[in-house]
C-alpha cells in the first residue's frame, strides 16, 4: 500500500511540476518559430546544433526564435565539442544538471548526450523531447551505436528520431526513421559524419511540421532489439586464438582511431596502429600463409612489402606500424625485436615467436574520460 501511495504521489508531483512549467510558458505554440533547448556533447551532436542555428539565423522565416544548450561538465582540455560550438554561436550554455529556466521552451532535442532525463524535466516541454539516434532502432540501443554497427559488420543502418521516455534509453516512440547503406570498409568516424548529416536533416524536417509529425509517431517493434554498450580498453585487446582476420580488421575500423588495438610481445604491451589486408600485400606465398601448424599470434616479416603478417584464428592480418616504447615501422620491429629473437632462438619453433592476448582487468581513468566525447551517440 505504501509503495502505491508513493508512486501516486510521484506522478502527482510530476504533473504539478509540468503544470507550473506550462503556466510559465503560456499556451503551447502550434507552429514555428519554436523555442528549443538542446542537449548534447560530441561531434555527432554538433551537426544537429549547427543545423538548428542555421534554421534560426539564416532563414527568411526562422524555424526557431530561441536556442539554448545543455552540455556535460568535462575535464578535457579541448572541451566538449557541443560547448565549443555553442560558444562560437554565442548561445546560452547550461552545465548539467542545470538545465536553464523552467517552462520556457516548446521542445527539447537530445543528440549524443548520454544522460537520462527525468520525467519532471521531460514534462516541462509541451512537445516533449526529441532524440536524434544514429541507428535503425530498435537495433543498437545505447551509447555506442555507430561503433557497434561497424564492429558487427552491419551493411545497413540508419537514423531514428524518437520521443524520449524517462528511466530507459532509446525506447521511445519513433517519429521519423530512415535507412542508410553502410559503405564497405567504412570506419566509425566516417560513418558518424554521414549519419550526423542525415540526422540533422531529419531533425529539421520534423521541426518544420512538429505537431503533425508527433501525431504519426509509432511504438518501436519488440523484435530485433540489440544493445550498444560503451567500449572499454579491454575491447581493444586482440584475441588471436578467438578472432578471425575479418573480425580484427572490423575492430580496427570500429575503435582503432580512438583506442589503438593492443597485444603482448615477450611480456611488453604493444599497440598496433596501422593494419592492412593480407591479400593487398605483394610477395606473400599462399602456401606459407595456409600452414596450419603456425599458431595464432605468430608473426612473420614480409620484406617485399615491409609488413608484419600475423596469424589469426582464421586468416592473417598485416601490420605496418606499431608502438612499443616508441612508434616503430614493421621494419623497425623486425630489426630491433623479431630478427634478434630468431638469431638467439634458431632451434625453437616459429610458433614460440608470437603476439599474445593482453588481459586488461581495469581501464585507466584517463582512458575512460578520453572516450566520453567519442562514444556518446
* Average pLDDT rounded to a whole number, residues 129-150: 98
61, part of any domain: yes
Tell me what pLDDT residue 344 has: 73
CB 110 within 8 A of CB 130: yes
CB 112 within 8 A of CB 170: no
Tell me, yes or no, whether 118 and 10 share the same domain: yes
DSSP sequence for 214-272 = HHT-BPPPSTT--B-PPP-GGGGB--TTT--HHHHHHHHHHHTTTS-EEEEETTEEEEE
Q: Is the per-residue pLDDT at 304 higher than 60? A: yes
Which of 215, 249, 274 lies at the terminal end of a domain, its last residue?
215
360, part of any domain: no
375, part of any domain: no
Q: pLDDT category, 307, cuts 50, 70, 90? A: very high
pLDDT higher at 134 or 299: 134
Q: What is the DSSP letter of 118?
A: P
169, part of any domain: yes
Q: The domain containing residue 175 runs over which residues?
A: 2-215
Q: pLDDT category, 77, cuts 50, 70, 90? A: confident
Tell me what pLDDT residue 293 has: 63
Taking the C-alpha atoms of residue 93 and residue 7, their distance in angstroms, rounded to an integer, is: 34
Query: What values do phi and psi take at 88, rounded to 5?
Result: -60, -40
What's the domain count of the chain? Answer: 2
Cell numbers for 371: 572516450
Tell me, yes or no, whether 192 and 243 share the same domain: no
Please tell me the least confidently modeled range out of 126-130, 196-200, 218-222, 364-368.
364-368
Query: What values do phi and psi take at 218, rounded to 5?
Result: -140, 150
Residues 6 or more apart whose CB falls under 8 angstroms from that of 194 comprise 180
- Residue 201, number of CB atoms within 10 A of its CB: 14
Q: pLDDT category, 291, cuts 50, 70, 90? A: low
Taking the C-alpha atoms of residue 49 and residue 54, their distance in angstroms, rounded to an integer, is: 9
CA-wise closest residue to 158 among 131, 178, 176: 178
Amino acid at each position: 500500500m505504501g509503495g502505491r501511495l508513493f508512486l501516486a504521489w510521484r506522478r502527482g508531483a510530476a504533473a504539478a511540476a509540468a503544470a507550473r512549467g506550462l503556466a510559465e510558458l503560456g499556451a503551447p505554440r502550434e507552429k514555428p518559430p519554436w523555442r528549443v533547448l538542446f542537449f548534447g556533447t560530441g561531434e555527432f551532436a554538433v551537426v544537429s546544433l549547427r543545423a538548428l542555428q542555421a534554421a534560426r539565423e539564416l532563414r527568411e522565416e526562422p524555424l526557431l526564435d530561441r536556442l539554448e544548450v545543455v552540455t556535460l561538465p568535462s575535464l578535457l582540455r579541448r572541451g566538449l565539442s557541443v560547448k565549443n560550438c555553442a560558444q562560437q554561436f554565442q548561445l546560452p550554455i547550461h552545465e548539467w544538471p542545470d538545465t536553464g529556466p523552467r517552462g520556457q521552451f516548446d521542445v527539447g532535442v537530445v543528440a549524443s548526450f548520454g544522460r537520462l532525463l527525468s520525467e519532471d524535466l521531460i514534462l516541462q516541454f509541451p512537445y516533449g523531447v526529441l532524440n536524434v539516434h544514429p541507428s535503425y532502432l530498435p537495433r543498437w540501443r545505447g551509447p555506442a551505436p555507430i561503433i557497434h554497427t561497424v564492429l558487427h559488420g552491419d551493411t545497413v543502418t540508419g537514423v531514428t528520431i524518437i520521443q524520449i521516455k524517462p528511466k530507459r534509453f532509446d525506447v521511445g516512440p519513433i517519429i521519423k526513421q530512415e535507412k542508410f547503406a553502410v559503405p564497405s570498409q567504412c570506419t566509425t568516424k566516417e560513418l558518424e559524419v554521414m549519419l550526423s548529416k542525415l540526422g540533422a536533416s531529419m531533425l529539421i524536417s520534423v521541426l518544420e511540421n512538429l505537431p503533425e509529425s508527433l501525431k504519426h509517431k509509432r511504438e518501436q517493434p519488440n523484435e530485433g532489439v540489440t544493445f550498444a554498450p560503451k567500449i572499454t580498453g579491454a575491447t581493444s585487446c586482440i584475441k588471436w586464438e578467438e578472432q578471425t582476420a575479418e573480425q580484427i580488421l572490423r575492430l580496427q575500423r570500429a575503435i582503432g582511431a580512438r583506442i589503438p588495438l593492443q597485444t603482448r610481445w615477450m611480456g611488453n604491451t604493444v599497440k598496433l596502429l596501422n593494419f592492412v589486408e593480407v591479400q593487398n600485400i605483394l610477395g606473400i606465398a599462399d602456401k606459407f600463409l595456409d600452414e596450419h601448424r603456425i599458431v595464432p599470434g605468430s608473426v612473420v616479416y614480409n620484406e617485399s612489402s615491409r609488413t608484419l603478417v600475423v596469424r589469426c584464428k582464421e586468416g592473417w592480418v598485416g601490420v605496418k606500424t606499431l608502438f612499443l616504447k616508441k612508434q616503430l615501422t614493421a621494419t623497425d620491429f623486425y630489426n630491433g625485436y623479431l630478427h634478434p629473437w630468431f638469431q638467439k632462438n634458431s632451434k625453437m619453433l616459429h610458433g614460440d615467436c608470437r603476439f599474445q592476448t593482453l588481459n586488461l582487468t581495469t581501464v585507466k581513468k584517463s582512458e575512460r574520460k578520453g572516450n566520453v566525447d567519442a562514444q556518446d551517440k
